[in-house]
């Protein structure tokens, strides 16, 4: 058996609809801040859904040169800013000696959709010669990874994951594996997304995946509530700095928590719908718990995928119940998407950060907008208000179109 390295979290960064740095995001989670409002990024007049969870008041010039930012898609800007925050938070320094042992994996479900749309319009109206030479590098989904690596000087393992709404969590899990196996000393990882665009909103609306609660946008994201009618699209990025325990101790780093388990499966069932009863998600949860060598009694909190769609919330509830049985009713389960909306490939990143903040600040974020209990969703969803609690182990679930399922397990340091 290989001698696996323990892996710890030493830096966190977040750009979200409820806060553009860790301090703001923490307050947003603790106070149940609602990040949903009418769309301002484009004119939604002709769209059946006119609201989203946008990142607002982000001072990107503090992180990216204005000239450079014009050559980066919005999702890459979010990813690099969150990565720079996390890197600074970690206290790391990259030198010629350690650069090849520091890697980057940032997942994105869609990539540079804004660039794709805008340049397609230019091609259609002005012809191929007017298409920007930066089109391809701006729109490809690996570019948040590439730009973060360039900005920080990280020359180790570098890749991108595109598993829809599981992408950010897969990026963290894959980074965890590389560190466990000693293939790197540090990994900068998470997810980034910016799909609040005319095509993004229209596409999800046509698929009947979005809420159409235009008369009351702030109540639209209501995971597990009986009157949920679809998700609210969000944007942003969450990034972690993971490193081997030995490397963190050698440089006397501040350690937030430990990542102890990773489970990933595929439903192999349908292009968008989850497998009946949440079987694939349940298997991912089981694998993460086994990977962490945890007993079921040790799990104190589950950050649910909780999208506010009828099928997801019902199936995720079934998945949790199939693993934890009677104990399911004793474990707080909340969906922070009720506050942030659904960041698609970026969601796993900010939700992993939420779990780490829960562990370090001893609270459980709420599921806001929870008003009408659903008999098929009958767990403790931490309704409407955050809860003080001693959290020793937290799980984070992420499930994506195509049947991709991920569960990550985090714990306080022992």
Q: Tell me the CA distances in angstroms from 317 to 218, 267, 281, 312, 392, one per residue in order.
A: 24, 16, 10, 8, 22
Question: Is residue 342 flagged as an active site residue?
Answer: yes
Confidence of residue 2 (pLDDT cuts 50, 70, 90): low
Same topology between domain 7-250 and domain 262-411? yes
Q: What is the pLDDT of residues 201-243, one digit of tens each?
A: 999 999 999 999 999 999 999 999 999 999 999 999 999 999 9
305 is catalytic: yes
Q: Which CATH class is domain 7-250?
A: alpha beta
| Chain position carrying tokens 């474990």 | 331
pLDDT score at 63: 93
Q: Which two tokens stand for residue 111?
A: 């990539």
User: Given this model, what pLDDT does residue 338 score?
Assistant: 98
- Residue 1's pLDDT is what? 44
Residues 238-282 have pLDDT tens digits of: 999 999 999 999 999 999 999 999 999 999 999 998 889 999 999
**Start-to-end C-alpha separation, the chain:** 23
Instruction: Examine the pLDDT at 143 and tell me if it is beyond 70.
Output: yes
* Residues above pLDDT 90, as percent of the chain: 95
- Kindly name the residue from 5, 49, 189, 305 that is annotated as catalytic: 305
Question: 3-state DSSP call for residue 202?
Answer: helix
**List 5, 49, 342, 404, catalytic entry:** 342
- Domain residue ranges of the chain, discontinuous segments joined by +: 7-250, 262-411
Q: Which CATH architecture has domain 262-411?
A: 3-Layer(aba) Sandwich (3.40)
pTM listed for this prediction: 0.97
How many Å separate Cα 98 from the centre of its chain? 28
Catalytic annotation, pick one of 5, 49, 165, 407: 165
pLDDT at 50: 98
Q: What angle do CA 146, 151, 154 make, to 5 degrees?
A: 70
């Amino acid at each position: 058996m290989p001698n696996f390295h323990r892996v710890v979290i030493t830096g966190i960064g977040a750009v979200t609809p409820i806060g553009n740095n860790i301090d703001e995001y923490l307050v947003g989670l603790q106070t149940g801040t609602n990040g949903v409002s009418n769309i301002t990024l484009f004119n939604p007049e002709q769209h059946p859904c006119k609201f989203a969870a946008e990142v607002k008041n982000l001072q990107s010039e503090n992180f990216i040169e204005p000239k450079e930012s014009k050559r980066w898609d919005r999702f890459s800007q979010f990813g690099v800013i969150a990565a720079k925050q996390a890197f600074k938070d970690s206290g790391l320094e990259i030198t010629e000696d350690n650069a090849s042992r520091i890697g980057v994996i940032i997942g994105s479900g869609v990539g540079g959709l804004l660039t794709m749309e805008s340049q397609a319009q230019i091609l259609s109206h002005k012809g191929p010669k007017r298409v920007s030479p930066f089109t391809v590098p701006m729109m490809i989904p690996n570019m948040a990874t590439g730009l973060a690596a360039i900005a920080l000087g990280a020359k180790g393992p570098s890749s991108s994951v595109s598993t829809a709404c599981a992408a950010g969590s897969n990026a963290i899990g894959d980074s965890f594996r590389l560190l466990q196996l000693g293939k790197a000393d540090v990994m900068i990882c998470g997810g980034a997304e910016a799909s609040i665009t005319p095509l993004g909103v229209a596409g999800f609306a046509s698929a009947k995946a979005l809420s159409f609660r235009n008369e009351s946008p702030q109540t639209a994201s209501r995971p597990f509530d009986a009157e949920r009618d679809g998700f609210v699209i969000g944007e942003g990025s969450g990034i972690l700095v993971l490193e081997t325990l030995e490397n963190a101790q050698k440089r006397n780093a501040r350690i937030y928590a430990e990542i102890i388990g990773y489970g990933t499966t595929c439903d192999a069932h349908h292009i968008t719908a989850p497998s009946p009863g949440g079987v694939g998600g349940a298997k991912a949860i089981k694998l993460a718990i086994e990977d962490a060598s945890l007993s079921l009694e040790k799990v104190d909190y589950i950050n649910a995928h909780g999208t506010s769609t009828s099928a997801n919330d019902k199936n995720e509830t079934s998945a949790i119940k199939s693993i934890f049985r009677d104990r399911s009713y004793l474990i707080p389960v909340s969906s922070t998407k009720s506050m942030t909306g659904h960041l698609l490939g970026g969601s796993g990143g900010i939700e992993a950060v939420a779990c780490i903040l829960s562990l370090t600040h001893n609270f459980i974020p709420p599921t806001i907008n929870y008003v009408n209990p659903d008999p098929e969703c009958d767990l403790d969803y931490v309704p409407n208000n955050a809860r003080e609690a001693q959290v020793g182990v937290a799980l984070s679930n992420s499930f994506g179109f195509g049947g991709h399922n991920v569960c990550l397990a985090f714990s306080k340091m022992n």
